[in-house]
Structure formats: C-alpha cells, structure tokens
Amino acid sequence: MAAGGGGERGSAVLELPRGPRLVCVEYPGLVRDVGKMLQTLGGEEGVSRIYADPGKRLELYFRPKDPYCHPVCANRFPTSSMLFKVKRKIRRKQLEAEGETQQEVKFEMEVLGVVSTVYKFQGMSDFQYLAMHSGPDSKQISMYDKVLMLKPEKEEFFNRELPLYIPPPIFSRLDTPVDYFYRPDVQHRDGYNNPQVSCENLIGLSRARRPHNAIFVNFDDDDVPIKPLEPAVQTWKKVCTNPVDKKVEEELRKLFEIRPVWSRNAVKANINVHPDKLKLLLPYLAYYMLTGPWRSLWVRYGYDPRKHPEAKIYQVLDFRIRCGMKYGYAPSDMPVKAKRSTYNYSLPITIKKPVSHTVSVQDLKHGLDTSSTSSAKKPAFSRYKLKIFAVLVLVAVAGRLQCNSAASIV
C-alpha cells in the first residue's frame, strides 16, 4: 500500500500479513547468487534440519566442495522484526515554461512477513589449512587430486609418495574470544614435595576413568578373568529390581552361550535394552578387550579367545568411510550411529545452552527400555520446509534511506 498523504514527513499505514513466520539469516557476505549462498549453508534440507533443532548452530562453509573447509557457526536468537519491501518510484515532469525537469518521488511499502527467529554469525572463523605443499622452486602445489578419492582407484593411487598431510578436524574449540586470567605460582612452605604423578597417562589428568566396574584386558595379558568384580555384581543387583531387567539378563546370558564374543552394537541389535542399563549389565557377564584382534569386544568370563582357534572368526575388521551430507548421504542412511566422529564435530553453543536430559538411578530402577525413551533421545523431526527468496530491504534511518542486501528464509 502506498504512503498516505502526509507531506514529506507523512506516515504510512500498513497491514501485517497473516502468512507464515519468517526466519532471518544474517549472512556475512554480499549475496549475488542465492543458489550459491544456500549451498554454503547446506541447502534447503540442511537449513531445515538445523531450524528443527533449537540446540544446533547453523554452519556456513565458504568452500562447500572442500572437505577440509572449517565452518563459521551462527547462534540462534528469538526476535520480533518485520521484513519490508520498499519501492522507490521516480516520475519526471518537463516544465514548459522554464525548460527544467522536475522529479516526483513516491515510495510504496509492503510488509512481507514477521521475523521470529534470527541466526547471527558473531564468532570468529576457524583457521583454514589447504591441501598444499611447497615445490622445489617454493611454489605452492595443490594436493587435492592426490589425497581425495573421487572415484574407485587402483593400487597405484595408494602407493604414491606424498608429503605428510594430516590436518586436525578443527583447530579451535571456541569461536568467541575469552579472557584468560593467569594465576601466580603457588607458594609452598619449605619441605613441601609435589605428589607423585603416574607416568602411564600424562594427558587428561583432570578426568579420571568413569567407574563402570568393568574389567579391561590387554592382548598380552597372561590370564583372563573368570568372574566379575564384586562392585559390578552389587551394582547390577541394585538396579535389577523388576521382571524386565531379569528377562534382559537371561537373554544376554543366552547370547554369550551361543557365542562367547560380542560387540556392543551386536548386543543392542539382538536385545531391547536401555543403553544406560547395558553399561551396567555387560561388566556383570563379560570382560572388555582393549587391544589385539578382538579389541573393543566383550568376551564371556573364563573364555580366552587366544587359546581357541575357532575364535578367529570374531576378530575385528575396522574400516571407516567418511559419510556426510557433502557426499550424498543422509543421517537415515547410516544403520549404526558412530559414538564419536570428527566429521560431525561442531563448535559448542556459547549462548543459552540447552539443558541436557540425563537419566538418574531412579529412572533405571523403573525398567526403562529403548521404547520408553526413544522420544527423548530421538532428534527433532525436520517438519519445517524452508523456502528461500532474495529481497531488497530498505531501512529508514533518520529520514534517509539506506539500501541493504539480505536473504530471508521462510
């Protein structure tokens, strides 16, 4: 609707549309191609998935086709804003008497919608490390065609001599600057001796191993345990207070009678048990192999796979394939979710962290299974289908019109 007749300082009366809510993304760049801009954000499907989960941050990849590109993350904020579409029409009139041209400027404004959510890129970009190496004449040579396998290759591809290129998945854990307050050295009295520190684990001394009362066995150990630890027995007896838990215990016993070696994922595929209860039940019936051909597997108490030739079929064959949205994979295509993956690593949320939903011991006593907690653990369903369009936003500041390029998401 056009502005009313109030002179140069007249006000306009606009009607708010009752259409869908809008989502604003403050893109840190000049948008010339909306398609390429959307590709850096993961496409419509990627943006819809992020918007469906309030606990996730929107990631922007300036080089979306480069697997070594580190993203810039945006935080999510609620807002109460409106998106305007302003047209400036100029009509020129030729004055016959004076021979001059007179301009008549007219503005037309339209409210496209109400913005309820905004994503702001307030953090710093992570360090970028390209797959390059210095040649004989100090020129930088690209290694992308040598380190990226874009199609099935022959053996010669893997036997080529290449410079060492093992970049970390991310350089900086935080993207916001923080003040580090240095503390002075602690002054001790005369005769004070520092406590002895174990030389076995000098990294991560501030975090001790989580006590689940499991027995860990290395491949070069002489003997294997024949019974669980007493704390493991007491812990499971304390939690096993209903018929559902007793049934799960009997099912797991039958599995170890059929086969003496099991992986955690294989147990979860054959038994309907809550993951927190499985942490307590496995140390009660089996020990954990740390190294060797049977590493990361649970073995029945008293069974030594090193002394039984038939146990060779249970050896671990570990191979890993990089899967992600960049390579045409969807989260639903992965039958087993990885416990931790450097590809899915994202910077932590620095503003308004969501409260984590933990399971207490009281919840375990009520016989929780995967069906009762699937709704709590399951990620939010992406029922939002975002549509993208580019608009020209004119913001009136102190009576002057400033033109800002913006991309809005409906």
Mind giving me the DSSP string for 166-223? ---S-S-S-SS-----PPPPPPPPTT--PPP--SS--S-TTSPPP-----EE-TT-S-
Q: DSSP character for 69?
A: P
Nearest CA to 228 out of 185, 283, 290, 187 is that of: 283
Q: State whether the Cα torsion 152-158-162-166 is positive or negative.
A: positive
Give pLDDT, residue 298.
95
Any bridge partners for residue 409, and if so which? 23, 388
Give pLDDT, residue 323.
59
Q: How far is Cα 14 from Cα 3, in angstroms, rounded to an integer? A: 9
Q: Check if the beta carbon of residue 241 is closer than 8 Å to that of residue 280.
A: no
- Which pair of tokens denotes residue 123? 């953090």
Q: How far is Cα 68 from Cα 64, in angstroms, rounded to an integer? A: 9
Q: Check if the beta carbon of residue 74 is closer than 8 Å to that of residue 119.
A: yes
Q: How far is Cα 249 from Cα 64, in angstroms, rounded to an integer? A: 48
Q: How far is Cα 117 from Cα 206, in angstroms, rounded to an integer? A: 39
Instruction: Specify burial of residue 386 (Cβ count, 10 A radius: 0-12, 13-18, 19+).
Output: buried
Q: How far is Cα 87 from Cα 112, in angstroms, rounded to an integer? A: 13
- Judge if pTM exceeds 0.85: no
Q: pLDDT (tens digit, 0 to 9) for every residue of the chain, 410 residues total?
A: 444 444 455 666 767 777 778 899 999 989 999 999 999 999 888 899 999 888 889 999 999 888 888 899 999 999 988 888 889 888 887 776 666 777 888 888 888 888 989 999 988 888 888 888 888 888 888 888 888 877 888 888 888 888 888 888 888 888 888 787 888 877 778 777 766 655 555 555 455 556 668 899 999 988 999 999 999 999 898 888 888 989 999 999 999 999 999 999 899 999 988 888 899 999 999 999 999 999 999 999 999 999 999 999 999 887 766 655 555 556 566 555 665 555 555 555 555 544 444 444 444 444 444 444 444 444 444 455 555 444 333 333 333 333 333 444 43
Q: What share of the chain is helix, strand, coil (3-state, %, to 5)?
A: 25, 20, 55
In a 3-state reduction of DSSP, which class is residue 224? coil
Give pLDDT, residue 328.
58
- Which pair of tokens denotes residue 320? 């890993």
In a 3-state reduction of DSSP, which class is residue 82? strand
